[in-house]
Amino acid sequence: MPDARPLALVTGGSSGIGFELAKQFARNGYDVAISGQSERVFESADALRELGVDAYPHRADAATYDGVEGFWTFVDDLGRPVEAAALNVGIGHGGAFVDNDLDDELRLIAINVTGTVHMAKRVVQHMVSNGRGKLLIVSSVSATTPTPYETVYGPSKAFGFSFAESLREELRDTGVTVTALLPGATDSDFHANAGMGDTKFGDNSWKNDKAVVAQQGYDALIAGVDHVVGGDDATKKEAVDNRKTPEPEKAAKMAKQAKPGSR
């Protein structure tokens, strides 16, 4: 029976790391509610059902208040406790800040920052009232370095990392844990969708497997650790090195990879 299984929520769960996280939940016996911006969310739900669980898809624009609130209302109306949630939805936007369209950058902030806070508010209040729950916030290794030519994206992910760590401490004695997942560059459509196909990040051949990143995130969530870097040993080393490398040096390195035409 569906109600005998725990329920998980995944924002941006129709593709990329989000879909892989949804599959992790499904394979571990969770029913899953997923959101996505396109019709693909319904196809992804069908794939999750093939894993023997119930899937609840909801199409929504994560850049709008109504889109975020609508997905939460959809989940809340299921009348079931949300035992785990992955706030994964996020977008990038490449190019020089001086040239980029302001509306595109404000949309990024609306999804990566405002939407994360909005959904976290609903999820955390729900979980605290139940006395239990596990929350995963997907940040990025980009949170640990300046990100020229992704000048709004990196700071949005730094917010997510700090937000997760701060919220974790506030919720210490509530039965609710918060974990941040910091993926490195991952083999998905992320950089193509960010308009970075002509940069070194546009080449997926060297990137981390999104299924592995999702497995690492899921395992960390269940273990209740504060954060985990998602990816191979080189990615984990990069995150460690970023703690001691001067900011200008990191910025110059990132610029070589993200500058338009660098591929």
Q: What angle do CA 221, 160, 95 make, to 5 degrees?
A: 125
From its phi and psi, is residue 131 left (phi > 0), alpha (psi between -120 and 50) or beta? left
Residue 1 has pLDDT above 60, yes or no: no
Q: How far apart are CA 169 and CA 23, in angstroms?
A: 28
Q: Residues 153-165: pLDDT tens digits?
A: 999 999 999 999 9
In the chain the domains, ranked by start, together with CATH numbers, are 2-258 (3.40.50.720)
- Residue 145 has what pLDDT? 97
Q: Which residues are catalytic?
A: 139, 153, 157
Q: How confident is the model at residue 35 (pLDDT cuts 50, 70, 90)?
A: very high
- Residue 189 has what pLDDT? 85
Q: Residues 65-102: pLDDT tens digits?
A: 999 999 999 999 999 999 999 999 999 999 999 999 99
**Total-model pTM:** 0.95
- Residue 172 has what pLDDT? 97
Q: How far apart are CA 229 and CA 242, in angstroms?
A: 12
Q: Residues 192-249: pLDDT tens digits?
A: 889 999 998 988 888 899 999 999 999 999 999 999 999 999 999 999 999 999 999 9
